Amino acid sequence: MGDIDPSYIQSTEHRPNLSTFVQVDEIPIIDLSQSNQLNLISEIGKACEEWGFFQVINHGVPSDVSKKVEIETKKFFELSLEEKKKVKRDAVNAMGYHDAEHTKNIRDWKEVFDYLVENTTLVPSSHEPNDSGLRTLTNQWPLYPPHFRETMEEYAREVEKLSYKLLELISLSLGLPGDKFHDCFKNQLSMVRLNRYPPCPFPDLALGVGRHTDSSALTVLAQDDIGGLQVKRKSVGDWIPVKPTPSAFIINVGDVVQVWSNDRYKSVEHRVVVNTQKERFSIPLFFYPGHHVVAKPAEELVNDKSPAKYKAYNIGKFYANRNRSDFNKREVDNIQIHHFRVLD
């Protein structure tokens, strides 16, 4: 990954505080194959309310598909840097390869490859409120490995099915129709990210990913057996390591569901710590509505006793702003959902 920028070492913003690590509790593990649907919905709701995170087993994603994507991911990251840079992302096209080594300040100790669930989609041409233009965002697929694209597209479709199932269960747990938000995902901005975290010789000075919440509706994450993901427990504020569970997916509530639920379910901070000796791989699918969707609290959850806690905002503009910030790694605070919170 190269040398760490000295200005980064001087900053403590992204340093992991090892003294806050806690292994006294674990996020819930939920069996999606259980026959008692009412119990399943209740478990989902409780996990969302208390944690904002949970793991799912017996989820329906074929194990052979997961295995193939694991193999192809490793093959891709084993390519030469020159080969990987042939599909390098830029300010215009956010899809493709990116290595944190080539940013001015190393915040995230990793390399990634991003691709859309829909091979081509429309996004706002800018984050400016009065700009109504749209541009096309398209996947960049490498020539090697030769089966990379077909494997990744198959994986995305399988995890997309799981995402819709989870969205339905979460909607039902809020007392809403199961398909309440399904239409929001037409022309979706959902994307899959392949993460490789190399061994890091300075674990006290870097993170695989700094503390953040996800701006998606849901995130569906596959991780290997190395571990490294940590969740900030809502009740006490400690960082809880997420113990890898074989064949499970880790699910977390994103900012959009926090808004839709009118703060009943919170998008919880999480981060990834690095490993000094072993590389780690993880693959999240960020389940994101279409650019045209306006996010606001569900009308069924708003009343005199529980007024709307957020002003409506456009998903596409929010996405465009976050994407611009992620690429440029600006030092200023980028737009967050708290900017749309209705003040008491």
Q: Confirm whether 258 is domain-assigned.
A: yes
Percentage, residues of the chain above pLDDT 90: 64
What pLDDT does 303 receive? 95
How far is CA 114 from its chain centroid? 11
d(CA 95, CA 90): 8
Confidence band of 3 (pLDDT split at 50, 70, 90): very low
Structural domains of the chain, count: 1
Helix (H, G, I), strand (E, B) or coil at 181: coil
- Ranking 49-58, 131-140, 184-193, 252-261 by mean pLDDT, the lowest is 131-140
Give the domain range for residue 234. 6-340
- DSSP conformation class of 12: -
**121 vs 210, more confident:** 121
Tokens of 81: 């840097």
What pLDDT does 60 receive? 97
Q: Confirm whether 33 is domain-assigned.
A: yes
Residue 124: phi and psi, rounded to 5, are: -60, 145
Long-range Cβ contacts of 47-50 (<8 Å, 24+ apart): 48/170, 48/173, 48/253, 48/257, 48/261, 48/265, 49/264, 49/265, 50/234, 50/235
**Average pLDDT over every residue of 230-244:** 85
Q: Confirm whether 273 is domain-assigned.
A: yes
Q: Confirm whether 1 is domain-assigned.
A: no
Nearest to residue 256, comparing CAs of 342, 340, 172? 340
Most confident of 83-92, 167-176, 275-284: 167-176
303 near 110, Cβ under 8 Å?
no
DSSP labels, 51-95: TSEEEEES-S--HHHHHHHHHHHHHHHTS-HHHHGGGB--SS---
Q: Angle formed by the axes of helices 148-173 and 63-77, to 10°?
A: 130
Q: Which residues pair with 313 in a beta bridge?
A: 295
**CA–CA distance from 140 to each of 137, 259, 308, 311 (Å)?**
10, 32, 40, 35
**325 vs 196, more confident:** 196
Task: Kindly report the average pLDDT of the chain as a whole number.
Answer: 86
Q: Confirm whether 25 is domain-assigned.
A: yes
pLDDT at 26 over 90: no
Confidence band of 89 (pLDDT split at 50, 70, 90): very high
Q: What tens digit of pLDDT does each residue of 47-69 get?
A: 999 999 999 999 999 999 999 99
Confidence band of 130 (pLDDT split at 50, 70, 90): confident
What pLDDT does 325 receive? 52
What pLDDT does 324 receive? 60
Kindly report the CATH number assigned to the domain that includes residue 202. Answer: 2.60.120.330
How, if at all, do strands 53-57 and 29-31 pair?
parallel
